[in-house]
Amino acid sequence: MVSARPRWQAALALGALPLAFLALMLIAPLVRLAAEAGPGASAAMLGAIWTDDYLRWRVLWSLLQAALTCIAALVFGVPIAWVLARFEFPGRAWVLRLLMLPFVVPTLVAALGVLALWGPRGLLGGWLGMDLQDTPWLLLYGNLFFNLCLVVRAATDALGQVSASRVAAARTLGATPWRAFWRVEWPAILPWLASALCLVFLYCFAGFGLALILGGQRYSTVEVEIYTLVAHELKLAEAGALALGMMLLTGAVALLYATIERRLATPARADPIALRRPSGAGQWCAVGAALFALLFFCAAPLLAILARALGAGAAAWSALLDEESLQALWNTTRFTAAALLLATALGVTHALVARRSVWLRAAAFLPFVVSPVTVALGLLLLYPQWSATLLLLVSAYALLAYPFVAKSLGAALDSLPENLLQAARTLGATPWRAFWRVTLPLVQPALRRGMAFAAATALGEFAVTLFLSRPEWATLTTLIYQRLGRPGAANRDGALVLAALLMLLALLAFMLIEGRSRRGAGRDRQRDEPALKGVPHA
């Protein structure tokens, strides 16, 4: 009998890498930020949240806009997901592949796309004569642009796990399709939806870029208030206290998410419902309505950016070949590659040690509980001597990217039948050989999807780069921001062209890392948790 002590020591050594990384790059900076705030300022600021009308409105609006986005994402997302999960139609594979593309673009570019679509001179806003600025609708639309895809992806994956025999039994007993959905399919997908909606709430509540640009003075959120206290008023103590209060709420939601995720850790069913070709005008209309909703909410801002970029003229596109743009492209590529390698190592080790611990699962979610602005500020305060080094910059990129790998791989590991590993061990395989020959080939699709989103996160990272990089380390995101801040139509057109380039780079990253999907492979893959901005099927 193999002693339990070596296994315990191996698990401890394996888990030391991601946990130590979290401690040095996230926990310690937050402690330093809290120390900067001080207990007196913290108590005063936390009390002012409910006594000051201005702060109370910021908190209540932050909660309200996150809740409204969750409701809207649920109402629109479930019907779209049902169509994608049940019907086979031309272009379906590309719809699934491109579904999460809104997460690729930086938030400032996404906000630019929303304004290009619905602003006073936008493609639709100007045509319809609508001025939505200084209203909450721009922010809510921007939230749906980012988060509707997450709910659709989660519901599509969940519907793919519904037992075909149970649905067939319900129909045999006389249930209508609508009744079979409510009595069989809806209870099966409800935990998945609850998990995804926890993420939607967190992304909206803790969001920064969209709220900064689309919220305006009246409808900005708590994160924007924290940034204002730091960047414009230099009130680090008050900002740290307010950030601490908000982290308590987001931490509770993250723990709820991790608990739901753990309960979803069951092997995938062997009898998924087969895809069928739509028949009749009603089913084809349902497909058309689902595609139109995705086009309206998820693709329209990106298409608006592309339309404006294509109309910018040859001069704007020729600027891609200037020294500044080429240097930014090189910096983006090398920073992303280095961060992806580190994020993959951290994500794999974290997923392996967190399989049976809800607390370790929640720990993987910590980088997304804290906003990048808060992370960058904490790193600056704790490591001032390292603030302009590649080591700290790449490590910060990896901190924000590795949870995608950890959550995607962890969900795939949960879905593996235990008898496969037990059979390998019975035949004499060591734990390492069993992992390499049995586990890794089975979870490889999930690992590649997690890596694809980690790469997209590094490609589009903006806040950390703005805080921690040198001028000569400008990336595409910071260069876009710089050109948007310069006067003149030429700089605006150049920013739009760079935004289009960044989207194409992210799409290329997906294709290279995920690889070409095999026909029908999506039905045979292990369950993939929607995990942190969603991880799509290839």
| Rg over CA atoms, the chain | 23
Residue type at 73? A
3-class SS of residue 174? coil
In 365-521, the DSSP E strands lie at none
Predicted local confidence at residue 424, as pLDDT: 64
Highest mean pLDDT among 46-55, 82-91, 403-412, 506-515: 82-91
Q: At what angle do helices 222-231 and 53-86 cross, to 10 degrees?
A: 130
- pLDDT value of position 413: 80
Measured between alpha carbons, how far is residue 35 from residues 94, 108, 237, 420 in Å?
A: 49, 31, 8, 50
Q: Where are the beta strands (DSSP E) in 193-341?
A: none
Q: Does domain 33-524 have CATH number 1.10.3720.10?
A: yes
List 3's β-bridge partners, or say none.
Answer: none
Lowest mean pLDDT among 76-85, 148-157, 431-440, 502-511: 431-440
More confident site: 297 or 51: 297
Q: Give the percent of the chain with pLDDT over 90.
A: 17
Amino acid residing at 466: L
Residue 529: pLDDT band with limits 50, 70, 90? very low
Residue 525 scores a pLDDT above 80: no
CA neighbor of 105 nearest in space, from 462, 474, 344, 429 = 462
**Of the ranges 9-18, 50-59, 138-147, 510-519, which one carries the lowest mean pLDDT score?**
510-519
Give 351-384 pLDDT, tens digit per residue: 888 876 767 777 887 787 777 777 887 888 888 8
Which residues lie across from 272 on neighbouring strands?
163
| HEC profile of 206-231 | CCCHHHHHHCCCCCCCHHHHHHHHHH
Classify the C-alpha dihedral 84-89-93-94 as positive or negative: negative
**Domain definitions of the chain by residue range:** 33-524
φ, ψ of residue 87 in degrees (nearest 5): -115, 140
Which H or E run includes 301? helix 300-310
Q: Which of 13-17, 225-229, 439-443 has the lowest mean pLDDT?
A: 13-17
Alpha-carbon gap, residue 239 to 42, rounded angstroms: 9
List of residues 6+ apart from 169 with CB closer than 8 A: none
Who wins on pLDDT, 504 or 41? 504
pLDDT at 412: 81
- Over the stretch 241-282, which tens digit does the pLDDT of each residue have? 777 777 777 777 777 776 776 666 554 555 778 888 998 888
pLDDT score for 2: 44
Three-class secondary structure of residue 177 per DSSP: helix
